[in-house]
Amino acid sequence: MRLRTKIQRGLAVITLTFLLLLLISLWRFHGAAAAVLLLLLPLGYSVAALMLLEKVLLKPLQTLDRQLNEVLPAAEGDAEQDELQRAASALRQLQEKNHEYQQQVLFLENLADLVSFLDADMNLYYVSQSHKTLLGYDPKALLAKPSEPENFFHPDDMERVFASAVNVTKTLEPERVELRVRHADGHYLWFESVHTPILSSTGEVKGVLVSGRDITKRKTIEEQLRQMSLYDSLTELYNRSFFEQQMQYYETNRQGTFGIIALDIDDLKLYNDGLGHAAGDTLIKETAALLKKSFRGSDVVARIGGDEFAVLLPQTNLEAVEKAAHRIKEAVAAYNKSNPKIPISISIGYAVGEPETSLRDILKEADNNMYSEKMRRNISDTDSTIAILMNALEVRDYRPENDALQLRDLVLDFARYLNYPAENYGKLGLFARFHDIGKIGIPDRILYKEDKLTEAEKREMEQHCEIGHRIALSALDLVPVADWIYRHHEWWNGQGYPLQLQGEEIPLECRMLAIAEAYHAMTTFRPYRRVFTQEEAVAELRRQAGRQFDPVLVEEFIAMLAARQTNFTAAEEDAVAFKELNQEQN
């Protein structure tokens, strides 16, 4: 627009100029001069117009052309630069993607979890390095020759594995499943596996991402908790809680007659007090093992108390229950034949009820029958248990066979010499035989120690009086002598234990036993010292008279020994004379 205006203005100026020149020429010149001037004016007008066009149009165009020629090579260079920049940008993007891919691969390779990718046909095309660290499988080997699912997963979990694979492809949602995976060495580990579908842009399943986290420790703890909720930790039988659950279940879900067997270990308290709770626990475990062997794995055999057991036998008649009880007794007898030193003694009761009878009533009847049997055999069995404990003590204490019986006879001889009431001979004999029963609860490191006991060890050794007292109170026949057992280590001067009694505060029976036991120990074999002669033993008794022993009873005991020696000599002389008489007659 501006260019056209300039041209129009320029032409107007030229036209006006030449018109003015024409008028002046016509006024000044005439004739031929005027004619020549009229011919030259159009030519001048044209030249002036061309000059105007050159100035206004051609020169700017030339300038523009020159500028374009200068600019075009640079523009061509910029285009090439843009191409290079675009190529560099694309390369950087590829490098970034490659780096990102490498980072992702590095991330996958360093994951503690198992990671694998399956294609649409469920074939493996990636396996993380964690398969090697967690399961012992080489990833390359797995890709080269994938393991069959039944060789990789636990047989019991196969159904869940396949169900999860199907669900993922149908729901297109991640599927979480807990399963056991086989380690290369054969054992199984628990994994929480998440199966996530890989979808295309059109929503089709291209494959499955499988990630698995080792949850073996968690499952182990869960199993331990489950075991604790169902099983007794000592015996691994069902516990009281599970037994009660089964009772409730069968109360409403049973058909036909129902049998229950109730069992109780006899004299377990004696074993606990005498041999220690570890020995008692062993007895419980051995009994539980016998019960396991006597019943099927599907039967409910439970420990329902410290020494109590019970067996639930659904759809079982009386004859079958009696046979089951007989099997238990046979198993106990066989065990005792192989383990005579510490045998098992159990009382058994059983009952069978019709469908209309509540299980509580059946259990109560079985319990009553069991306790009736226990009472019938209690006295003889308790004596047997005490004898077992005493024999075990004699073995531990390196005492000669029948050592306790020899001491009993010596004490009874002393009692007769003192005119001790004959009606108390039975109790006195029990006391003499079982007074040290509490030593069964003293640790070997103290009982066998040859060096002098420390103060702490002395206090522990002194506890055998209290232990013996508890054992005696648990045994019907020993109850009358329990207090004597508790006081049998008191000294005449009050420096004994456990009550520091002195003088005649100490029961007569304990004072008699103290003297007889000391003499018997000195004159019979002991591994820790030599055997004393009678004279040496008597001298030691007199030295301790008034300190450890009742001085009056010491002299009475020595007198009894002398009388026994006299009687023995006389009897020996009579035997010799009788033998000589027979020889003369023959």
Q: Where are the domains of the chain?
A: 2-105, 111-222, 233-374, 397-577
315 contacts 324 by C-beta, under 8 angstroms:
no
Q: pTM value?
A: 0.53
pLDDT at 30 over 60: no
Residue 577: pLDDT band (50, 70, 90) is very low
Distance CA 489, CA 524 (A): 20
Summarize pLDDT for 286-306 with one digit per residue, the tens. Answer: 999 999 999 987 789 999 999
Cis amide leading into 551 (omega within 30): no
**Stretch 112-132: mean pLDDT, rounded?**
83
pLDDT in tens, 329-348: 999 999 988 887 678 889 99
Cβ pair 475, 310 in contact under 8 A? no
Share of the chain above pLDDT 70, in %: 72
Higher pLDDT, 393 or 73: 393
Q: Please, what CATH class does the domain formed by 111-222 belong to?
A: alpha beta
pLDDT interval class at 353 (50, 70, 90): very high
Q: Quote the mean pLDDT of the chain.
A: 80
CA distance 133 to 136: 6
Q: Is the pLDDT of residue 20 over 70?
A: no
Higher pLDDT, 348 or 149: 348
* Span 14-34, average pLDDT: 58
CATH number of 397-577: 1.10.3210.10
Q: Which residues neighbour 363 within 8 Å (Cβ) at sequence distance 6 or greater?
A: 247, 260, 262, 310, 351
Of all residues in the chain, the percent with pLDDT exceeding 90 is 36
**φ and ψ at residue 127, rounded to 5 degrees:** -135, 125
For residue 79, count other CB atoms closer than 10 A to its CB: 10
Q: What is the mean pLDDT of residues 136-162?
A: 83
158-172 burial: b if 16+ Cβ within 10 Å, else e: eebbeebbebbeeee
Q: What tens digit of pLDDT does each residue of 382-405 get? A: 556 666 666 666 555 555 557 788
Give me the CATH topology for the region 233-374: Alpha-Beta Plaits (3.30.70)
Please report which confidence band the pLDDT of residue 570 belongs to, taking 50, 70 and 90 as the band edges: very low
What is the C-alpha to C-alpha distance for residues 391 and 436, in angstroms, rounded to an integer? 12
